[in-house]
């Protein structure tokens, strides 16, 4: 899905700013 790709990009771009909670969400 597009959401998965966007989420992955967000996590990859903000892996330092955002915690691991974003990945598990």
Task: Report the number of distinct structural domains present in the chain.
Answer: 1
Identify the domain containing residue 16 by its residue range. Answer: 1-25
Q: Please state the separation of Cα 7 from the chain's center in Å.
A: 4
pLDDT on residue 16: 61
pLDDT on residue 1: 77
Whole-model pTM over 0.85: no
- Which string of DSSP letters, residue by residue, matches 1-25? -HHHHHHHHHHHHTTTTS-THHHH-
pLDDT on residue 21: 59
Could you report the per-residue pLDDT of 1-25, keeping only the tens digit for each? 788 888 888 877 776 665 655 555 5
pLDDT on residue 24: 56
Token pair of 22, please?
Answer: 């974003």
pLDDT on residue 15: 67
Token pair of 24, please?
Answer: 């598990």
């Amino acid at each position: 899905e597009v959401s998965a790709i966007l989420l992955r990009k967000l996590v990859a771009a903000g892996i330092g700013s955002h915690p691991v909670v974003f990945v598990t969400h």
